């Protein structure tokens, strides 16, 4: 197999490549944050006039809350009642499975194509 000679990349081209990668990676984290889509739906479930008992706290729990600087039930209310919302749609789950499996299948297939070139050039054609 003929040896592949890569083109020489200009300095500007190298800088642009790095900028593209950085922008994409920063965007992957911050865009969901900016759009308010990131994070879980862990929200307090309001309890009217909360008491330790109505929040499901036994005396030992109350003693530990007091030591942590929460003198009454109202001060710990938001933390105690916050819950994740684990409801989900099967369609969303199916989309996630398709995206993850599709990503790995795509990557392995394209990698294999590139790998065969590497092996052919390294060890010669069979």
Partner 1 sequence: MAHSEDVDHTAHGQSMGLLRVLGPAHVWALGVGIVLVGEYMGWNFAVGKGGAYAALIACWFAGILYSCVAMIDSEVTSTVAAAGGQYTQAKHIIGPLMAFNVGLYLVFAYTMLEAGNAITLGFLVDTVAAMTGHEGGLDQRPFIVLAIMFLAWLNYRGVLATLTFNLVITAFAFTAIIVMFLATSPLLGAGEMLHKDLMSGQASLPYGWLGILAAMHFGLWYYLGIEGTTQAAEEVRSPARSLPFGTLAGIMTLLIAATLTWYVCSGLLPWEYLGDGVNGAVAPLFSAAQISGSNALVWLLGIGTLFATLASANGCINDASRAWFSMGRDHYLPAWFGAVHPVYRTPYRAIIFLVPIALIFALGAPLDQVITFSILSGLLGYTFMPINMIMFRKKWPLDTIKRGYEHPLHPLPAISLMALCAVTYFAVFLGYGTQLIAMIGFYIVVSLWFHFWRYRFVKRADQFTMPWPRPRGY
Return phi, psi of residue 49, to 5°. 40, 65
C-beta of 10: minimal distance to partner 1 in Å? 11
User: Per rule CB under 8 A, is residue 90 in the interface with partner 1?
Assistant: no
User: Per rule CB under 8 A, is residue 104 in the interface with partner 1?
Assistant: yes
Using CA atoms, how far apart are residues 126 and 123, in angstroms rounded to an integer?
8
The residue among 42 and 49 lying less far from partner 1, judged by its C-beta, is 42
Pinpoint the alpha helices (H) of the chain. 11-34, 59-67, 73-81, 90-123
Restricting to residues 2-41, name those near partner 1 by CB under 8 A. Answer: 3-4, 6-7, 9, 14-15, 17-18, 20-22, 24-33, 37-41
């Amino acid at each position: 197999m003929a040896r592949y000679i890569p083109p020489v990349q200009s300095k500007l081209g190298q800088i642009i490549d790095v900028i593209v990668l950085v922008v994409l990676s920063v965007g992957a984290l911050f865009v969901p944050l900016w759009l308010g889509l990131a994070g879980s739906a862990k929200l307090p479930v309001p309890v009217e006039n909360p008491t330790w008992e109505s929040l499901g706290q036994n005396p030992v729990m109350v003693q530990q809350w007091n030591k942590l600087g929460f003198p009454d039930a109202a001060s710990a209310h938001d933390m105690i009642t916050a819950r994740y919302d684990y409801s989900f749609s099967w369609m969303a789950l199916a989309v996630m499975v398709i995206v993850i499996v599709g990503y790995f299948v795509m990557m392995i297939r394209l990698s294999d194509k590139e790998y065969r070139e590497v092996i052919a050039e390294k060890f010669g054609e069979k």
